[in-house]
Amino acid sequence: MADDTERAASLLRQARRVCVLTGAGVSAESGVPTFRASDGLWEGHRIQDVAHPDGWAKNPQLVWDFYHARRAKAGSVSPNPGHDALAELEKRFDSFTLATQNVDGLHQRAGSRAVLELHGSLRRTRCTGCIDVTDQGLDPLPAMPTCVMCGAVVRPDIVWFGEMLDERVLKEAGRAAATSDVFLVVGTSAVVFPAAGLVALAARGGAKVVEFNLTRTDASEFADVGLYGPSGQTLPAVLAAL
Ligand code: OAD
């Protein structure tokens, strides 16, 4: 592990452009549950019921109850040393992009600036009538929140299964991945596309890929270096070795 930490640090020392992809694992040590732990359920709900347009059409109150709970959770936790290390790493490079699949806002709270939220944000709502997008913070919202502009029901500004990612955000992430010298893939099972496709894109573009995870994943075949342990420990270790 010490050798791999040094190898990762050495790759970063030679890099000019760095891109990072994070997933739920980077927030696990903050107390935010990951998705694919065991039973395929999110807090007892089927994904189709709470993270799919069909679930929203069927029972928007159930969807909002689920997201009220996720918002409250995100507001009650704090960034961990893994988030902090990524925020610090950003300061060492002129070109640094962090693409995250997480919607909890912990990277920004740790101080990361160039963050691309691939799957949206728990802080934001999107109106189902006038398409207004509003940053609501993480304070409690009414049970079924409505739009201040037009009065229609608003939904969480989250990318659900079967929905497209924001094209501008995805393009920017793709460009950053494809032109990076070093690509860090942190705490993701790398099975949800198109986000997971950024790893192959980076590798094809010539980036050295460093994986931070508890275990090997679908991204491991692209990894030049793998640091297998909690990212709240492995990321600070690489930063310290820089
Ligand atoms: P997953 O739950 O699929 O994967 C979490 C990964 O984090 C696993 O590979 C774990 O081994 C790893 N992990 C857990 N704890 C860790 C730790 N302390 N340090 C390092 N790694 C750790 O979550 P994602 O890959 O983020 O999409 O899932 C991708 C997307 O699937 C999510 O954004 C969400 C979900 O459906 C949408 O909501 C659209």
Given this model, what pLDDT does residue 175 score?
A: 98
Of 56, 101, 104, the one to substitute when testing ligand 1's pocket (max ligand atoms within 8 A of C-beta) is 101
Annotated catalytic residue 119:
yes
Given this model, what pLDDT does residue 35 score?
A: 81
Given this model, what pLDDT does residue 98 score?
A: 99
Distance 221 CA to ligand 1 centre (A): 17
Kindly report the three-state secondary structure assignment for every residue of the chain.
Answer: CHHHHHHHHHHHHCCCEEEEEECCHHHHCCCCCCCCCCCCEECCEEHHHHCCHHHHHHCHHHHHHHHHHHHHHHHHCCCCHHHHHHHHHHCCCCEEEEEECCCCCHHHHHCCCCEEECCEEEEEEEECCCCCEEECCCCCCCCCCECCCCCCEEEEEECCCCCCCCHHHHHHHHHHHHCCCEEEEECCCCCCCCCCHHHHHHHHCCCEEEEEECCCCCCHHHCCEEEECCHHHHHHHHHHHC
In this prediction, residue 40 has a pLDDT band, given cuts at 50, 70 and 90, of low
Global pTM reads 0.97
Average pLDDT over residues 102-131: 97
In this prediction, residue 41 has a pLDDT band, given cuts at 50, 70 and 90, of low
Given this model, what pLDDT does residue 44 score?
A: 81
Per-residue pLDDT reduced to its tens digit, 58-71: 999 999 999 999 99
In this prediction, residue 29 has a pLDDT band, given cuts at 50, 70 and 90, of very high
pLDDT above 60 (res 93): yes
Given this model, what pLDDT does residue 39 score?
A: 55
